[in-house]
Structure formats: structure tokens, C-alpha cells
């Protein structure tokens, strides 16, 4: 899908994955959709809901026995499906999280966002997808909350909200609307969106992957950020590499709106003693633990469970002694042992 976003959740520094599954080295990656996986806790039921003229498709995970709580699961950036996957990027992050929650009696809803799975582009076309902004993404998540509340009887104010990567910003935006009574920010976007993209792209330039074009890309990167923040649009003469990394007209509205929100400021506004799970990992090439630290400090007034992993990649898969890299983006690896223990402990305190 041309120009559809594939950023934080799909990108790895020093090698970022571009739209269409092509890496900087020019290697095409095309993996089949992993589809549904074996469910070991509870069972999935297909659901749909309407928002902004689009029918969203998802799965409601019902635990064995009566549900004692309900959770909305929000994916990372780009065209991510209900399981947490994209074409060429296998992780099953969300379906594995649903499984962990169900073991503690927590029902959960996850859905194919715009550009992914059965939802597809919905009411948008390739030509009009640039009209899709972050505000719409939060609206769609709120519509999912309403469906979850209807199906489980848990009010929107009491629903748990778990967001992976960019999904953590969506979760914080829902909290700002008064939704949620417990949050998990998993490998979260920890700063303003354009600041993180700048850090990621500067790391690519520093790695030498762009060769002699590197410094030109760096200069245009600064110009692109300044222009978007002041005018809401990107300059028309940016280096083509920046367009490949998402800085193009199709993404301008989404980036402009999402960049206005500072996760640290939103986190500081959460009610005292709100249950929060926050994670980072030393082997996350997209977001470092040092970048997450200001977010951790902003959450100090909450009932915070902070987990500093050492062997999990950005998708919360287990790397063990292996070094992170492009291969672990495309291969479906086992769930991180550290994440399994962390989500199990957090869910146990929320469920039965």
C-alpha cells in the first residue's frame, strides 16, 4: 500500500523497514499473513464496529468462565492487524497479550486498524488516506471501547487500556478523554513523535547506511520537522529518502496531530494511584530505556510497575543471547520470557 505509515513498530535502527517491506539495502521482504494462532486461554469471537464510515473488524477474547475485567489492546504504528502483525513483520504481540490476560479472567478486544487485515482502508482510498489523522485513530479506538463496554458490561471509565509502541500514545489520548482505569505502555513511544523520528533517522545517518547522502538527509530532516510543526505540511523538495521514511503528504496530517501530544505531559496527568505497567528493553532497537526514563519519572505518582527487560526486542519477542537486527523483525520468535512474567503479574493484580 503506497505511502501508508510503517514507523515505530515496524522500523528498526540501524535498519529501518520502509513502506512495502523494502529495507535500505534494497532487499524485498514478503511474508504471508500469520493469521490466527492457537488460543491456549479463552476463545476468540469475531466482532465488528462502525466508526467514521468504516467497518472495523476485530476479535473479542473471552476468558474461560466469567470475565472479571475488560481490556482494549492497541497496536503500534503502520498498517498493523489485530494480532500485532504487518506484511513482512511477524510478532503476534497483541494476540499473545490477549492470551496472557485471558488466563486471569480478563476479556480483551483487538482490531485491524486502518490499512490492515479485514478492515483495510475502510472509507479511505490510496488517494485520500492523507485525510486520516491521529484524531481519527483515537476516535476509532474510542468506538472500540464502546463496543467492548457493550459486550462485557464494563464501563469505559473502568476498562484497561494496553498500548504497544505508538499504541501507548493512543492509550494516553484515551485517558485524556476520561477512558480507562489501568494502563500498560509496552515499549512505548516516549516523546513527541517527530522527536523520536528525528532520533531514529539521525541514527541511520550516523550508521553510514545512507552514504554520501547522509548529511543532506539530516539537513532536510530538520527542515521537514520545522515545516510540519509550523505549517502542518512538508516542503515539496525534501530528499526522497525522507519520503520513504514517512515524511510525505500522505502522512503529514497524522504526524502533525500526533506530534502535538507529549506522552510525558499526558502521563503526568493520570490520576494518582492509577495502575500502570511500563516496559523498556536493552535490545529494543526502536526505543531505548534512556528515552523511556522521562516517561517513567512522569508516572512516578501512579501505581507503577516498571519493567526493564534485557533480552526482549521491540515486538516483545525473546532474543536471549542473540543480537537484535533485521532478521528478528520478520521471523516469528517466542514471546519474551521477561514480558510474559511482567504481563502475568500485572494481569493477576487486575483479574482473578
DSSP string, 231-246: HSS--TT--HHHHHTT
**Helices 134-152, 249-259: inter-axial angle, 10-degree rounding:** 70
- 193-207 vs 214-231: helix axis angle to the nearest 10? 170
pLDDT digits (tens, 9 = 90+) for 215-238: 999 999 999 999 999 999 999 999
* C-alpha count within 13 angstroms, C-beta hemisphere, residue 158: 13
Mean pLDDT lowest among 3-12, 178-187, 332-341: 3-12
Q: Is the pTM of the predicted complex or chain greater than 0.85?
A: yes
Question: Distance of CA 253 to CAs 83, 129, 227, 246, 337, Å?
Answer: 26, 10, 13, 12, 38
Provide the pLDDT for residue 34: 40
Residue 107 has pLDDT above 80, yes or no: yes
Q: What percent of the chain has pLDDT over 70?
A: 89
Beta strands, E only, 112-192: 160-164, 183-186
Superfamily holding 43-192+263-350: Alpha/Beta hydrolase fold, catalytic domain (3.40.50.1820)
Q: What is the pLDDT of residue 328?
A: 84
What's the pLDDT at 28?
30
- Which is more confident, 50 or 25? 50
Is the predicted pLDDT of residue 164 greater than 70, yes or no? Answer: yes
Span 260-293, pLDDT tens digits: 999 999 999 999 999 999 999 999 999 999 999 9
Residue 23 confidence (pLDDT) above 70:
no
Domain ranges across the chain: 43-192+263-350, 194-258
Q: Which residues of 34-68 are buried (b: 16+ CB within 10 A; e: fewer)?
A: beeeeeebbebeebebebeebebbbbbbbbeeebe
Work out the burial of residue 216: count CB atoms within 10 Å of its CB; fewer than 13 is exposed, 13-18 middle, 19 or more buried.
middle
**Which range, of 21-25, 197-201, 271-275, averages the lowest pLDDT?**
21-25
At 183, the pLDDT band (50, 70, 90 cuts) reads: very high
pLDDT, the chain, mean: 88
How many of the other CB atoms lie within 10 Å of CB of 309? 23
Sign of torsion, CA 64 66 68 74? positive
The predicted pLDDT at position 39 comes to 56
Kindly report, residue by residue over 304-346, the tens digit of the pLDDT.
999 999 999 999 999 999 999 888 878 889 999 999 999 999 9
Residue 181 has pLDDT above 60, yes or no: yes
Pick the closest to residue 287 from 62, 10, 100, 26 (CA basis): 10
DSSP string computed for 101-126: HHTTTEEEEEE--TTBTTTBTTT--T
Per-residue pLDDT tens over the stretch 54-104? 999 999 999 999 899 999 999 999 899 999 999 888 899 999 999 999 999
At 20 the pLDDT is 26
* Stated length of the chain: 352
Q: Is the pLDDT of residue 27 over 80?
A: no
User: Can you tell me whether residue 71 is helix, strand or coil?
Assistant: strand
Cα 234 to Cα 19, 125, 157, 220, distances in angstroms: 18, 21, 38, 10
Amino acid at each position: 500500500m503506497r505511502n501508508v505509515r510503517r514507523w515505530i513498530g515496524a522500523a528498526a535502527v540501524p535498519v529501518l523497514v520502509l513502506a512495502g517491506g523494502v529495507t535500505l539495502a534494497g532487499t524485498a521482504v514478503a511474508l504471508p499473513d500469520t493469521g490466527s494462532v492457537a488460543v491456549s486461554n479463552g476463545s476468540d469471537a469475531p466482532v465488528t464496529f462502525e466508526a467514521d464510515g468504516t467497518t472495523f473488524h476485530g476479535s473479542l477474547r473471552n476468558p474461560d468462565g466469567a470475565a472479571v475485567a475488560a481490556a482494549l489492546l492497541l497496536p503500534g504504528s503502520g498498517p498493523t492487524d489485530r494480532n500485532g502483525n504487518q506484511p513482512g513483520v511477524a510478532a503476534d504481540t497483541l494476540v499473545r497479550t490477549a492470551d496472557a490476560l485471558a488466563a486471569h479472567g480478563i476479556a480483551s478486544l483487538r482490531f485491524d486498524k486502518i490499512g490492515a487485515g479485514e478492515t483495510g482502508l475502510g472509507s479511505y482510498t490510496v488517494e485520500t488516506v492523507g485525510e486520516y489523522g491521529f484524531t481519527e485513530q483515537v476516535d476509532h479506538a474510542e468506538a472500540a471501547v464502546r463496543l467492548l463496554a457493550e459486550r462485557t458490561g464494563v464501563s469505559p471509565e473502568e476498562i484497561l487500556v494496553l498500548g504497544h509502541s505508538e499504541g501507548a500514545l493512543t492509550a494516553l489520548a484515551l485517558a485524556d478523554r476520561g477512558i480507562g482505569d489501568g494502563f500498560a505502555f509496552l515499549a512505548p513511544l516516549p516523546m513527541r513523535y517527530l522527536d523520536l523520528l528525528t532520533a531514529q533517522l539521525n541514527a541511520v545517518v550516523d550508521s553510514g547506511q545512507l552514504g554520501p547522502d547522509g548529511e543532506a538527509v539530516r539537513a532536510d530532516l530538520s527542515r521537514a520537522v520545522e515545516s510540519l510543526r509550523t505549517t502542518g505540511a512538508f516542503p515539496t523538495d525534501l530528499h526522497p529518502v525522507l519520503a520513504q521514511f514517512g515524511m510525505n503528504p500522505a502522512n503529514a496530517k497524522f504526524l502533525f496531530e500526533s506530534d502535538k501530544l507529549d506522552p510525558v505531559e499526558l502521563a503526568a496527568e493520570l490520576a494518582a494511584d492509577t495502575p500502570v505497567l511500563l516496559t523498556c528493553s536493552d535490545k529494543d532497537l526502536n526505543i531505548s530505556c534512556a528515552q523511556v526514563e522521562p516517561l517513567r519519572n512522569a508516572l512516578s505518582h501512579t501505581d507503577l510497575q516498571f519493567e526493564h527487560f534485557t533480552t526482549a526486542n521491540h515486538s516483545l519477542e525473546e532474543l536471549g543471547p542473540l543480537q537484535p537486527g533485521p532478521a528478528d523483525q520478520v521471523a516469528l520468535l517466542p514471546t519474551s520470557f521477561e514480558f510474559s512474567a511482567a504481563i502475568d503479574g500485572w494481569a493477576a493484580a487486575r483479574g482473578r
